[in-house]
Amino acid sequence: MALRRLQQTLGHLSGGARTSDAPQETQLSIVHGPSEPPLSSETLGTLLERQVEVFGDRCAVKCSWTGQQLTYKELHSRSRALAAGLLSLGLARGDHIAIMAGNCEQYVEVIFAAGLVGLPLVVLNTNYTNDEVENAVHRAECRLLFITPFIGSRNMAPTIKSMHTKHLSSSTDPLTFVLMGRGDANGMDGVIPCESLFLRGLDVPPKDLERAEKAVQAEDVCSLQFTSGTTGKPKVAMLTHSGLINNCIGSGHRLKLTENDVLCCVVPLFHCFGLVLGILMSVAHGSLLVFPSENFSPTRALQSMTHDKCTLIYGVPTMHTAYIQEVLSQPPGTYDLSSVRIAITGGAATPMKLFKEIREVLQVPHIIQAFGMTECSPVTFLTTVEDSFETCSTTVGKVMPHVTAKVVDTDGKTVPLGQRGEILIAGYNSFRGYWKNPQGTEEMLHKEQDGTIWLRTGDEVTLDKDGFCRVTGRIKDIIIRGGENIYPAEIEDCLVQHLSIIQASVVGIKDARYGEVVAAFVQQEEGSGPGRPSTSELQTWVGKTLARHKIPAYIWWIGDKDVCETLPQTASGKVRKIALRDIGSRLIGE
């Protein structure tokens, strides 16, 4: 029934990715994704059960830093046992639970255990402070928290003690803690060791577990994700089994993923990138998922690529830059990346310079751009292994299967092909809304008279006649200087072409005369020499390519006194421009 409802809702999404059939001179910016592969009506539980039948004894997950690995059969049995343990605590379908841990095999077990019995899982950023963890668990009304005693070198005991003392919970019951990974629960009040939860599950009658599993529907919410919050306070996005599973199936289809692929997952599992393009995409295609380290380490990732013969690597642009710097810092032949056929980049804009370096230094034949957002489960556009280097480096590909996208102006009217505007998305991948935030949900979702629900992304793009999408920036990031619209991305692209600059971020700063002026934060390229260009030299550099009003009035170097040590970023690798505006305003005395 869930699949039928999806297909009825998306009946107009048929055929290959195509643009409107209107005459060429008035062709509008609206594209429909292909109808293949077909939509799935599976849940996380039924997906894993299906894969066990096919790949039972094949290795599903390998965690290099813990020395553990799980076959598909073991992952399924342990996830079911853990799910039974959760039921033994009195948890029922719809109750929220949370997890805060680094990348490890137990994280995968928790994701499937929660999904098996309909417990929406809140994935928490491992960089959260104690107060942020408490606030997140409280806002999402969690009844249980999976947590490790350490995350990297950080001792989580003070967090656990503080939260236990405050009895943070939405109900009269105290919050239950389940301790994962290394360490023990001795001396920690209210904490259950994860392995004891497996034992408690043995007391749950099999028919009770089966009943709980059968009650889960594809349209149920299975994941609660705190959004990155580049422009304000993070919200809690509700994502469904159907949205996540169909997104990972469609993504794997474009990458021609098979059971012979080995995925090196270094992106955090608390972000949609790692959850969908990591765990779920790997399981959905019978592949092997490798976790080289708890947190990102370019050295361990490259060692894994060498020893595990990884075929697919991930990263936001800063991670790929770290790979390149590590390879160049070592003698030739230190790392063997000959097995790697795909590098996926996403989460933030990837400069052309970096594309070329991935190809030339890492020698990866296919560099894939993923574009989307958490609320879209998360991928909306994706290049393919059949696209040319030029296409992959200058576009984010075509719209995903069973998804429609259109570009609109500020009045909500669809613009002609090639014209900039905000991209809106409609399809199975749209989120259910923000948890207990109807105003935020209403701002994101717009229902038209024909019943189509469009998701406002806030991203500014153009679409060409072949359906390829080019991202030009964020609507809220546009700088208006003296009535002229200025797009930060083109200035950033210009700046990183300079040999001394590896990264640049451009924002608008308030100005009494023009309203706003351009300000640039730049990071020096390692090995570019002891000196660096002056502000006037960089202004001249930009002026050679771009119009005069686009030349930065201010240029600050990352790492300088009173600026910032590193570019402020969200967990997904996006630059927090709101923070840069605040820094810029402070530096000029606003």
Average confidence (pLDDT) over 275-302: 98
pLDDT tops 90 at residue 368: yes
pLDDT tops 80 at residue 6: no
Task: Report which of residues 589 and 137 the model is more confident about.
Answer: 137
- Give the tens place of pLDDT for each residue, 62-75: 999 999 999 999 99
Domains and CATH numbers, the chain: 2-41+244-473 (3.40.50.12780), 72-216 (3.40.50.12780), 478-587 (3.30.300.30)
pLDDT tops 50 at residue 231: no
Q: How confident is the model at residue 164 (pLDDT cuts 50, 70, 90)?
A: confident
Please give the pLDDT value at position 484.
81
The CA distance from 565 to 496, in Å, is 19
Average confidence (pLDDT) over 28-44: 98
- Give the tens place of pLDDT for each residue, 494-522: 999 999 999 999 999 988 888 889 999 99
Q: Of 63-77, 223-237, 357-371, 409-423, give the lowest mean pLDDT range.
A: 223-237
Neighbour-count burial of 217, counting CB atoms closer than 10 A to its CB (0-12 exposed, 13-18 middle, 19+ buried): middle
pLDDT tops 70 at residue 403: yes
pLDDT tops 90 at residue 426: yes
Please give the pLDDT value at position 507.
95
Please give the pLDDT value at position 14.
41
The packing angle between helices 317-329 and 298-307, to 10°, is 70
pLDDT tops 80 at residue 12: no
Q: Are 405 and 376 in contact (CB under 8 A)?
A: no
Q: Of 143-157, 180-194, 517-531, 542-556, give the lowest mean pLDDT range.
A: 180-194
Average confidence (pLDDT) over 458-478: 92
Average pLDDT, rounded, for the chain: 91
Q: Of 19-23, 73-77, 342-346, give the lowest mean pLDDT range.
A: 19-23
Please give the pLDDT value at position 129.
85
Structure-token pair, residue 61: 């997950």
pLDDT tops 80 at residue 343: yes
Average confidence (pLDDT) over 255-277: 97
Please give the pLDDT value at position 453.
97
Please give the pLDDT value at position 1.
44
Average confidence (pLDDT) over 346-372: 93
Residue 210: which of 109, 91, 83 has the closest Cα? 83
Helix, strand, coil fractions of the chain, as percent rounded to 5: 35, 25, 40
- Give the tens place of pLDDT for each residue, 411-423: 999 999 999 999 9
The CA distance from 489 to 474, in Å, is 9
